[in-house]
Amino acid sequence: MPRSAPPRRPARVLSRALATASVALGMMLTALPSSTAADAPVPEPPAVRASALAAGSPPAGDFFSTVAVDPAASVGAPAAGDNQAHGDLWPNCWADDDNVYTAYGDGVGFGTVGSDIGVAKISGMPGGLSGTQLSTDVGQIWNAGHNRKPTGMACVNGDLYLAVQDLAHDFNDAPAATIARSTDKGRTWTWDRSRPMFGGGVFTTVMFLDYGKNYANAPDDYVYAYGLDHNWRDSFDDTVPDPVDLYLARVHKNSVMDENAWQYASGTDASGNPVWSADIARRQPVLHDDRRVYQDVFTPGRARNMTVLGQGGVVYNKPLDRYVYTSWTEYTFEFYESPTPWGPWKHFASKDFGGYPWTHTKHGGYATTIPSKYISADGKSMWLQSNVCPCGGGYPAGDHWAYTFSLRKLSLEPRRDTVPDNAAAPNRNLAREPGTVPVQRATHFGKDGYYADGNRDQSEDDWNDERKTESWWGYTWPRQYMMNRVTYTTGDMFADGGWFAADLKVQVRRDNRWVDVSGQRVGPDYPYGSSAGPHRTYTFSFDPTAGDGVRIVGRPGGDRTFTSIAELEVHYGDAGGLMLGGSPTDVTGDGKDDVVTFTRGSGAEVYAAPSDGTAFTGGGKWNDHFAPAGETPLTGDFNGDDKDDAITFTQGSTADVYVAPSTGTSFATGEKWSDHFAPGDEVPAVGDFDGDGTDDIVTFTQGDTVGVYVSLSNGTSFGTGGKWHDHFAPRGEFPAVGDVNGDRKDDVITFTKGTEAAVYVAFSDGESFGPARKVLTGFSPGAELPRVGDFDGDGRDDIASFTADADAEVRVALSDGEGFVTKGVWHEAFSGPGAFPYVGDFDEDGRDDVVSFDHTPGADVHVALSTGTAFGASRKWNDFFGLPGETSL
């Protein structure tokens, strides 16, 4: 019966999509437009364009490679966990006397009397901090039903400036704000008592940019401040619009208290320079982020569907020359970075602490700031301040563990260009490499160190009280590594979750994007349900690839949609992935091999791009649904019409084989040609083993029996499979097919990998394979990728090995009819890390050439033609074919 297909999705155009690029301003801070006087008029050019981030959300940040955030506060002033209601918020600045000055809300500070606002001094460094109470007489309430709340502080020329907002008692409206000044280090304060500086809910959450000690790192004579409209965070009851825009203002350092001297970023000019306006109504956001998180939570009454911009802080990290904005939501921290105060801002990390309740060893918080005093000399280590109130569900009433000036470690590693240099070493667990940072959707207990400690009996999970559609567990690194195997051990199983429900796969981070690996195989099969079992191990092998991160990702299962983990190991070892040693791909029947790609996944489309001898052109969809994820696709001429067809082995327990015959312009509907062949995780391949001109199928069991079975084609189906060899290509070896002796009957070949790296051949007599003979050693060791083809055009198939690493060498050994000889390097730079190599005669000269699919979002395809003694220059033959995660031949 024809294989049923799901509804079609829109066809993909096989031409490179031009990615929309964010225009980096890239200017030095010294290029800030200057003003001759603090109150000089600001020109309004006739054409001011709005911020590039005026809609949607910011692009992903690419400045940092790893971000490590401690799961909880560990130090404070006077100490995290003394269970005193010291207060929250704590905007801060570093003054000329080397102290940190800060303001708190709703607490006793370092005194004994509670207040809605207070000012304090913090002395010392984390681990030895002490606090001194200064004042509670600062700012005033402008609206009934509101309290004073501190939102930002700046230390400039020995003075202190504090932004104070009116915040509604229910925390859902901030209609006004003003600026207060202290010239005696916080003991007394002055402000305009007649009216707030900011009103109408406009720019009423004011956060001063932290430019270091006494504002010494400022590039000019201005003080910079960021503002949110309407509220300090998402307005849970939608009383006012939720903040999705971050605005920027500046004011001369001598005129901070003069509201008429303030200037607002109002877009950029044609050269990308910021335009400043004295009219607050002309302001334009420097950052827009309309993402919403936790759109659906299980517990009634919990915060949900929240925007991500809130009262935090922006600090200039001078050693890294980077601006960092720390924001938050009820359950997450949100991190942004930029090269200038006005952007372009990019979102570089989220840290998800999950739903309530929290613990002393795992909690998020609000009002996130990075005090500049605590940034290390190299800029990579710092301390993040945040708070948890025992009033909102995070902690029970009376628990003030993090209701103080509480700090946790934050480590940021800038991205740098690296080349993977790790050799194949099956026992080297890359999860233990220096600088490794675990990443995940969330942690229930904050124990992300569990899954890299070698103990498979422990358990962490990502329950977070959210109905979520994706879970992941993985690592990021400060450098690239080669890898081809991930071993996942499940954690505990629960009645309401702990397993993956669907779409479990491996992704690597390349060029700051998570992309699917190619050639993924899983052993044993993951069952997508609670039967995955507690503390069971599943190994994912895939084609060698490079990246500075790796993760398993899929749809979480159970009524509460979460997964569990005990251990996640990452290796670069011997053979892995789909073992595809080569197969003919002349799908049009014109004598030139073409390229075919199987998209896999639920769509499972098939695309082909025919060769014209100089390029792959005229590509398009050849089948709507064939070879979904988990199956093994190949090509071959199974009906003898000189056009290569598509074939897929379902494997697993069904072990069906489907063929989609080529019409020359498409693949017809898939038909079942065998109902039991290549079950489980056997390795199937294609070849003409009886020499009748039609391709047959073979499977290498690689299990305890290590047998080889063949099923011959009769042109419309495959006959009953029979054993053609009792012991060939045991597990760990890489089997392949080719006509080594030129008798028009394909033989079987295996590459042992390991230290000997031997090559064995068993010749076909048309009814079975003869004894296995060792014909070569020292070829295609470790994780190198072997391929079979007639590279010198003598009618006998030869072998090639692609190092598939930074060296990107291609070595060839030619057949002499009995074995392989004349080993040599035929190309010194072809098909590097992450690319997938294959072979075919693309120019119809009788010699097989080599092709490389980049398998990046750019999806370039390169070919190097054979001269008979070497492969020529690598040239691009297609600029969009074979995306990450696809199987391309």
Q: Give the residue among 536, 406, 494 at the shortest CA–CA distance from 78.
A: 406
List alpha helices for 493-589, DSSP H: none
Specify the CATH number of the domain 64-414. Answer: 2.115.10.20
What is the DSSP annotation of 215-251? GTT-SSSEEEEEEESS-SS--TT-SSPPP-EEEEEEE
Provide the pLDDT for residue 135.
Answer: 98
Residue linked to tokens 């613990």: 359
Do 690 and 682 form a contact (C-beta atoms < 8 A)? no
Give the rounded percent of residues in the chain with a pLDDT score beyond 90: 86
CB-based burial label for 18 (10 Å; 0-12, 13-18, 19+): exposed
The SS3 call for residue 283 is: coil
Token reading at 27: 């200017």
* Residue 55 confidence class, pLDDT cut points 50, 70, 90: low
* Residue 20 confidence class, pLDDT cut points 50, 70, 90: very low
Please say if the pLDDT value at position 453 is more than 80.
yes
pLDDT in tens, 496-530: 999 999 999 999 999 999 999 988 989 899 999 99
CA–CA separation, 216 and 209 (whole Å): 12
pLDDT in tens, 203-248: 999 999 999 999 999 999 999 999 999 999 999 999 999 999 999 9
* Residue 26 confidence class, pLDDT cut points 50, 70, 90: very low
pLDDT in tens, 588-614: 999 999 999 999 877 899 999 999 999
CA–CA separation, 703 and 614 (whole Å): 43
pLDDT in tens, 376-397: 999 999 999 999 999 888 899 9
Provide the pLDDT for residue 46.
Answer: 32
Please say if the pLDDT value at position 271 is more than 90.
no
What are the residues facing 405 on neighbouring strands? 77
CA–CA separation, 177 and 205 (whole Å): 7
* The CATH number fitting domain 425-572, selected from 2.60.120.260, 3.50.50.60, 3.40.50.970, 3.40.50.1820: 2.60.120.260
Q: Sort strands 205-210 and 313-317 into parallel, antiparallel or unpaired.
A: parallel
Please say if the pLDDT value at position 451 is more than 70.
yes
Do 570 and 517 form a contact (C-beta atoms < 8 A)? no
Every domain of the chain and the residues it spans = 64-414, 425-572, 595-888
Mean pLDDT computed over 746-767: 95
Provide the pLDDT for residue 272.
Answer: 85
Mean pLDDT computed over 743-756: 94
What kind of fold does domain 595-888 have according to CATH?
Neuraminidase (2.120.10)
